[in-house]
Amino acid sequence: MKCKLMGNTPSISSCPCGVLPDGTPVEAWTLCSGVGLEVEVITYGATVTRLLSPDRNGKSADIVLGFDRLDDYRGGHPYFGAVVGRVAGRIANGLLRIGNETFPLDRNDPPNHLHGGPDSIERKVWKARIIDRPDKAPSLELTCHSPDGENGYPGAVDLTVRYTVTSDNELIFETVASSSRATPVSLTQHSYFNLAGEGSDTIEDHELQILSKRIFAVDETMTLLDEWKPVEKTAASFETAKPLRDAIPGLWKQHGDLYWLGGTGELRAVASVREPRSGRIMEVATTLPCLQLYTSVSLDGTLIGKSGQPYLPFSGLCLECEGYPHATAGGEFGDILVHPDKPQTSTSVYTFSTDTTLSGQ
C-alpha cells in the first residue's frame, strides 16, 4: 500500500492497492486530519492498514499491526485491522437462536462460531465513496452486501461503515446495518494497537483502564456461559489504570475478557491506554454495550509485519467495541437483532493525544 500521505492539510485521497485473482481491483484510501492523525483504509475488508499518530516529541509512527502487501491480507491472519461480523465474537457451539428457530453456523473456532465464520465480510471488497460532512472532516463510507444464508445466517444484510478523522485527532468508526428479516448483526473494528509503534516491543508496559466492573464468564473453550462475574480483586480489573504486564499472567489464558459496559446506547468513554515512553494516549468511547480485550497472546512469530519484525505474543492490543453475541432475544444482555423496518447503528471513537507528564521523557 503506502499511498502518499498528505501532511498538514485535512484531506482524503485514494490510490490502487492491488488486484484480486478474479480481477477485482482493491483501493487504498488515506484520511489525514491535518493535525497529526493519518489513517489508511483498504477496500478489502474495510481494513485499517496504517494509523500514524505523533508522540510527545511530534514524531509520528504507525501504531497498528498489519502488512505492506495485499496478498498478506488475503492469507491467514488474525483479522488485523478488519471490520468483522456479521457477529463479532463467539456464538456458542455454532448455534444461532432467533425466537423458536435455530440456525447452525460454521464452527470455525471449534466448538464455536467466531467473527461471522470463514471468509466473511473481512474477505469482501467493499465499495467506497467520500462523504461530505458539515465540519469538512475527511470521511470515507464503505458498503457491502451479505446474501441470505451466507455462513448460515438468515436474511440478506446490507452493511455500511464510515471512517472519519477530525481536527481533534479522533478516528470515528460508525456502522449501519439493514436486513430483509430479523437477524443478528454486531460489527467491530479489529485493529491491533501498539502505541510505541508497530514492530516495537510488546504492549506489556501499556497502561490500560477499562471502565467496567463485570466480565462475561466462559468455559475452557472460550464458550460464553451467558452470565456475568465481577472483576473486583481479579487480574481482569482495570477500573484503575495499570500496566498490562501486571495483569496478563492472571488473565484467562493470558487472553483477555469480554467486558459489560451497560446498554445505554449513549456514546460514553469506556477505556484508555497510555504508553509511557512515547507519551501516546488512546481513549475509546462507544455506544455499544461490550468491549473485548485481547492481548494478542496467540501471535507466535510466524507472521512478519510492516517493519519486517515477526509478530510475537503481546505485540498488539485489541479493544473491540461490540454487542453481546447471544443477545438475540432482548433482555439484560441487550439486543443485536436487525429488523427490516429498523436499521441498526453504532458509533465508536478512538481519540489520540500525548501526555508529556508520563515517565520515559
Active-site positions read 190, 320
**Cell, residue 342:** 429498523
Alpha carbons 12 and 191: distance in angstroms, whole number: 20
Q: What whole-number distance in Å separates Cα of residue 178 and Cα of residue 184? A: 10
Q: Supply angle C-alpha 219, 251, 333, rounded to 5.
A: 55
Task: Extract the C-alpha cell encoding 260.
Answer: 459489560
Contact residues for 335 (Cβ-Cβ < 8 A; gap 6+) = 323, 327, 328, 329
| 207-210 vs 344-354, strand pairing mode | unpaired
The count of other CB atoms within 10 Å of the CB of residue 169 is: 18
Q: Give the type of residue at 216.
A: F
Q: Which residues are CB-neighbours of 356 under 8 A, at least 6 positions away? A: 56, 279
CA dist 249 → 224, 242, 244, 319, 344 (Å): 21, 13, 9, 18, 38
- Grouping H, G, I as helix, E, B as strand and the rest as coil, residue 142 is strand
